[in-house]
Amino acid sequence: MTSTPGRFYTTAVALVVFFLFWAVIAVRPWAQPQGASASSDPRLIALQTREKRLQARAISVQKIIDRRWANYRTALVKRKGQIAAQKAAQQAAQQAAQQAARQVVQQPVASSSPARLSAPAPSVKITSVPPVTATKTS
Partner 1 sequence: MLEAPLKAKLDRSDLLRWEFRAMGTTIELLLESADEQRDRDALETVQAEFERLEQVMSRFRPDSELSLLNREGSMVVSPDLERVIELALEAREQTNGRFDPTVHDALVAAGYNRSFDRLPRERRIDAHPPARCGGRVTLEASSGTVSLEPGFHLDLGGIGKGYAVDRAIEILAVAGPCLVNAGGDLAVRGDRPWPIEIEEGPTLELRSGAIATSGRDRRRWLASGEEHHHLIDPATGRAAQSDLLRVTVVASSAVEAEVLAKSLFLGGEAETARAGLPAFLVTLDGRKRLVGDL
Contact indicator for 5, 11 with CB cutoff of 8 Å: no
The span of 15-23, 49-57, 81-89, 101-109 binding partner 1 (CB under 8 A) equals: 101-109
Indicate whether 28 belongs to the interface with partner 1 (CB under 8 A): no
At its nearest, how many Å lie between partner 1 and the CB of residue 110? Answer: 7
Length of the chain: 138
Rounded-to-integer distance, Cα 134 and Cα 5, Å: 147
At its nearest, how many Å lie between partner 1 and the CB of residue 85? Answer: 21
Indicate whether 100 belongs to the interface with partner 1 (CB under 8 A): yes
Rounded-to-integer distance, Cα 21 and Cα 6, Å: 22
CB atoms within 10 A of CB 38: 11
Residue ranges in contact with partner 1 by CB under 8 A:
97, 100-101, 104-105, 108-111, 113-138
